[in-house]
Amino acid sequence: MQNNIYISKNYLQSILYEMKEFVEQDLIFMNPKGEIIASTDPSRLGSFHYGGKKVAKTEKDLIIHSDTEYKGAKKGINMPVRLNDTIIGVIGITGDSEEVKKYVKIIRRLTEILVKEGYTKDLENNEIEKDRMIMDTLIFNESKLEENHIIKYENLFSIKNHIPRIVIVATIAGHENKRLLNKEKVFRLFRSLLKTEKTIISLSGNNIIMIVERAKKDQIKYMIDHIRSVVKQKTNLHLKFGIGNLQKELSNLRESYIKASDALKWSFLVTKKEVAYYDEMDLEILLNNIPSNYIYEYTNKILKGLTQSESNEYGKILELYEKHNGSIKRISEELFIHKNTLQYKINKLYKMTGYDMRKLRDFTVLRTAFILRKFS
């Protein structure tokens, strides 16, 4: 292909087989040098077609009347294929010219449409692969990046150091299967809406990760509101976002990623907010990083007598107790129960655990235990 335009040979091969079903004739695709790089007749692959070379040079159709007229050619019609006004190859249809000329216009047009579609897809896939490499290097590499490596990556990825960037981690809300089935579709939407030279987007597991350049909080909010709206409209899916902290060094972007992941995790397990900012977390930072063995020991000590159903019920009551500053009236209204019923439940929890949520210290112990249980 000319001008560094590359189309997958496998893709070209699939185009020819698809069109053969329509024209019921063998087809070949040649590069501008006349080499047959795709063919519905496997025996012709890799051979040289002098007629094809002439077509690429003159940029005109060529009718070949016999199998001996041009070396490596068979009778038929050969046409230049253009992409962005550039001759990228030649397509040939084999057969008597009077029989196959009725297909010339449709074959040429269909080929150019499909080639453009394949080229665009290849370009997109190359961009996706480049972004994935950047993420692997800057986000998922646990080793500290040295200064000499940073310089190499600046040149390799055309990405400058010492520029404020922030990492955002997004995922589909709901069941794991919902994320698994829809992540690719949502990822493509993210790229179509947000991808620029200043935004790097990659898919990791069920999460979509973005490195955003020079992003202020109001800009992030606008960007997230926009993508949430479009995704909801096109897929009827809801998203959750974790926002890391601002970093000026490429070598520190992994830290922003870890904090964005922590914020997203906290959102899923505790707050249920759709957008969680690490910079707005305080006590959560400590709770989010307690080793699992300590979590188990603490929650088992405080809540060991509670069933899962009771744990869910009292966890909600504790959450509302904090939300409404201990107002029995407002808590009971939100739970649609009588105030006396709520008081009965609070007393029952005291009997089961030995902690009375109406006392500040006991409330802190219980609330912490119920939060940590979600991490176990």
pTM comes to 0.61
Give the domain range for residue 337. 292-373
Residues 296 and 269 in one domain: no
Residues 310 and 262 in one domain: no
Residues 37 and 149 in one domain: no
Residues 44 and 83 in one domain: yes
Residue with tokens 């992003």: 215
Number of domains in the chain: 3
Strand partners, 172: 239
Give the pLDDT score at 258: 92
Residues 185 and 311 in one domain: no
Give the three-class secondary structure for 200: strand
Q: How far apart are CA 66 and CA 76, in angstroms?
A: 8
Burial of 26 (0-12, 13-18, 19+ CB in 10 A): middle
> Which candidate, 50, 57, 94, 52, places its Cα nearest to that of 75?
94
Q: Could you give the percent of the chain with pLDDT greater than 90? A: 46
Q: How far apart are CA 76 and CA 98, in angstroms?
A: 9
In a domain, 303, yes or no: yes
Tens digits of residue pLDDT in 100-155: 888 888 888 888 888 877 777 777 777 888 888 889 888 988 877 777 778 877 87
Residues 112 and 18 in one domain: yes
The first and second tokens of residue 201, run together, are 């987007």
> Which candidate, 132, 167, 157, places its Cα nearest to that of 248?
167
Strand partners, 202: 209
Give the pLDDT score at 156: 73
The band of 376, judged by pLDDT with boundaries at 50, 70 and 90, is low
Give the pLDDT score at 2: 45
Q: How far apart are CA 245 and CA 257, in angstroms?
A: 8
Tens digits of residue pLDDT in 325-370: 999 999 999 999 999 999 999 999 999 999 999 999 999 999 988 8
Give the three-class secondary structure for 317: helix
Q: How far apart are CA 336 and CA 196, in angstroms?
A: 49
Tens digits of residue pLDDT in 42-88: 999 999 999 999 999 999 999 999 988 888 899 999 999 988 888 88
Residues 146 and 104 in one domain: no
Residues 144 and 270 in one domain: yes
